[in-house]
Structure 1
Amino acid sequence: MILRQALARRKSPAFARNLTISKSPISWQQDERPQQTIASAVERSGVGLHSGVSATVRLIPARAGEGRYFVKAGDEVKIPASIDHVEESVLCTTLRRGSAKVSTVEHLMSALEGSGIDNVPILDGSSREWVEAIEEAGICSAKDDSGDEISRFSAVVHEPLYVWKNDSFVAAFPHPKTRVTCGIDFSQVSAIGCQWFSCFPTIQHTYSQEIAPSRTFCIFEEVDGLRNAGLIQGGSVDNAIVCSISSGWINPPLRFPDEPCRHKILDLVGDLSLLAENGNQGLPVAHLVAYKAGHALHARFASMLRDIMVKLKGEV
């Protein structure tokens, strides 16, 4: 049904007016607003979800065209927030450059993408607190070394693109705006079950109100196994919602009836934000549809789009 609706929409006159027809599956579109950054520095401290180690993260304004990157305190190495620097990891997204790495970046990256922050260096280490920190700092147009604004571009998808593994997939269909639809299926956990949610995450108030508050979740019966594997060392009922197969939610109430599904959108936005470079938008202009997907499949999909965009640049 989703594929049929997407293809029908692609043939509509309204769709044709909003997109430039291209022989390439992806083209570039200039946005109405210039690149943005935060107006002032802001920082937050907390415990790493998987490491259990306390960390402080500081967001700092950056020049237009610099994009988003990490610098660990006391280290000169810049780790670009780019799909090229993703390292395979379990239950999170990790970036590495040489010996320097930063883990579990997806919630922060999701908040930056959803809030429209294109250029920012991040020191050390529910995205709702990140969105609140960004709002506290304020948002302004980013300027380059000459004091000029730089245009912001987005990748526009013109034909269906997808990756899959077993019955899980991530796909992009042509659409005049960036829309994300996500589905999950925890049929073995009746309190979660099968859920779907859809939204337009690049609309800032939509992201901040409908996606950012959604918390990460886990199955109670899997907690010991994950901790024995060295994961979720900093996880607790204060920073995650926990559901038991037999008895349901352990720490209600939920912020939304479909909070787990919304959190999957939060993760997808964060992972696809790693397609951004030089201060442009990471999320492509497309209807992104994901089902039972995780960080590894998100990264695979982003890598595929990156390869197409690199080829496109070489042909310009």
Structure 2
Amino acid sequence: MNLSSAFNFFKSSKFISWKSTGRLQQTLVGCIELTGKTLHSGKVSTVKLWPELAGVGRYFDFRSNVIPASIDYANESPLCTTLCKDGIRIRTIEHLLSALEGMGVDNCRIEIENSDPEDRDVEVPIFDGSASDWVGAIEQVGLKVARDECSNTCEKMAAHINEPVHIWKNGSFVAAFPSPKIFISYGISFPQVPAIGYQWFSSAHFDNSHYTKQIAPSRTFCIYEEVEKMRNMGLIKGGGVENALVCSVSKGWLNPLLRFDNEPCRHKVLDLIGDLSLFARCVNLVAVIETATTT
């Protein structure tokens, strides 16, 4: 069972219970606008984040084409998370969605555009390869309690897993277990790249401050010897040491100092939070989640 199929199965199964978190849904106080180069296409795109009504959730708006930030529209794609609907594709969404989830933005219209009127494929900017730019912008504009059209508030619901579930694919796995709170433990294995090697990162504390300081600053990474192959595949055209950690098998890190000793593993947690936010709109997934990635 692949990850998308598993999520869709458990969304509607008896293994999920929905409970109130005791918190009200939130949205942004005002609009956020950021422009930057994208990782894979190398083009420049602009994203505007708008406040949204309670109960609406998070969704993308590309030239009046609306795609909810939901697992229902997830499309398998290499080296990024992609949403697809009616021939429109929104790529590399994981860092932005991770920031929205980590900072508690439950309802948001994500307007995205680029300069090519013929494009039906658009990508979220990469910035420095982390979620820090998004987090900083959210902190600057602030959050408020979201209200619906009748000015009513809505409680934030959480999906609680009642029985364990696990998924294996190409030597990697994700497992989720029932738990009264969120706990994530992530491991990566790159034995052929000594500077990365084997890393773990675990976290059981998920308020805004923890996400901002311990997860959001971690940058995406790649192996220097694989760069040419990826570019020949049409990927990472906009990639470089200014927006990714680059590690050579023989020479080690080609960037300045790491922000954390296990920064690559922390970035995987950043990505996971963004991907899990697609599970459903306006909900959190509450469970113990363990995952490991090998290359």
TM-score (norm 2): 0.88
Pick one of 41, 48, 51 that aligns with 1:58: 48
**3-state SS in 1 of match to 2:156:** strand
Given candidates 184, 191, 194, the residue that maps to 1:190 is 194
Amino acid at match of 1:134: I
Determine helix, strand or coil for the equivalent of 1:292.
strand
Contact 1:42 1:59 in 2 (8 A): yes
Give the structure 2 partner of residue 25 of structure 1: 15
Q: What residue is the counterpart of 1:48 in the other structure?
A: 38
Runs of 4+ in 1 over 2 A off after TM superposition: none
1:137, distance to aligned residue in structure 2 (A): 1.4
Larger mean CA deviation between 92-101 and 103-112 belongs to 92-101
Note the alpha carbon deviations across 1:100-149, whole angstroms, 9 max, x for none.
22100000000001111100011114101111111111011100000010
Q: 1:88 — aligned with what?
A: 76
- Name the amino acid aligned to 1:93: T
Q: 2:283 aligns with which of 277, 280, 283?
A: 280
**8 Å contact 2:190–2:294 — kept in the other structure?**
no
Aligned position for 1:260? 264
Q: Which amino acid aligns with 2:240?
A: S
- The match for 2:292 is 291
Q: 1:201 to 1:213 in 2, by over 3 A?
A: farther
SS for the counterpart of 1:175 is coil
Distance in 1 between residues matched to 2:274 and 2:294, nearest whole Å: 14
Aligned residue for 2:212, secondary structure, equals: helix
Q: Where do residues 1-316 of structure 1 align in structure 2 (5 Å cutoff)? A: 24-72=14-62, 75-124=63-112, 125=124, 126-200=130-204, 202-277=206-281, 279-281=282-284, 284-292=285-293
CA distance in 2, matches of 1:162, 1:118: 27
In the comparison of the two structures, how many residue pairs are matched? 267
Paired amino acid for 1:46: G
Unaligned runs of 5+ in 1: 1-22, 295-316
Deviations 1:73-123 (CA, angstroms, capped at 9, x unpaired): xx2221100111011110001111102221000000000011111000111
| Partner amino acid, structure 1, of 2:152 | D
State whether residues 170 and 293 of structure 1, in contact with CA within 8 Å, keep that contact through their aligned partners in structure 2.
Answer: no
Aligned-partner residue type, residue 172 of structure 2: S
Query: How far has the Cα of 1:173 moved from its partner?
Result: 1.0
| Matched position secondary structure for 1:107 | helix
Cα drift, residue 57 of structure 1: 0.5
The verdict on how the C-alpha distance between 1:256 and 1:272 changes in structure 2, with shifts beyond 3 A counting, is same
Q: Distance in 1 between matches of 2:253 and 2:290?
A: 27
**Contact 2:189 / 2:294 at 8 angstroms: preserved in 1?**
no
Q: Which amino acid aligns with 1:116?
A: G
What is the root-mean-square deviation of aligned Cα atoms in Å? 1.4
Structure ranking higher in strand proportion: 2
C-alpha distance in structure 1 between counterparts of 2:145 and 2:76, whole Å: 34
CA distance in 1 between counterparts of 2:36 and 2:71 reads 25
Shift of 1:293: 7.0
Shift of 1:167: 2.7
CA apart distance, 1:25 = 2.2
> How has the CA–CA distance of structure 1 residues 113 and 201 changed in structure 2, closer, same or farther, with 3 Å as cutoff?
farther
Alpha-carbon offset, residue 24 of structure 1: 3.6
Identity %: 51
Distance (Å, rounded) in 1 between the aligned partners of 2:205 and 2:54: 23
Q: Deviations over 1:50-91 (max 9, x none)?
A: 11000110100000011000001xx22211001110111100
The code of the aligned residue for 2:283 comes to: N
- Tell me, yes or no, if the aligned pair for 2:161 and 2:178 is still in contact at 8 Å: yes
Shift of residue 31, structure 1, vs aligned partner: 1.0
TM-superposition CA deviations, 1:129-179 (whole Å, max 9, x none): 111111111011100000010111000112211111243100101121111
Question: What is the letter of the counterpart of residue 61 of structure 1?
Answer: P
Equivalent position SS for 1:262: helix
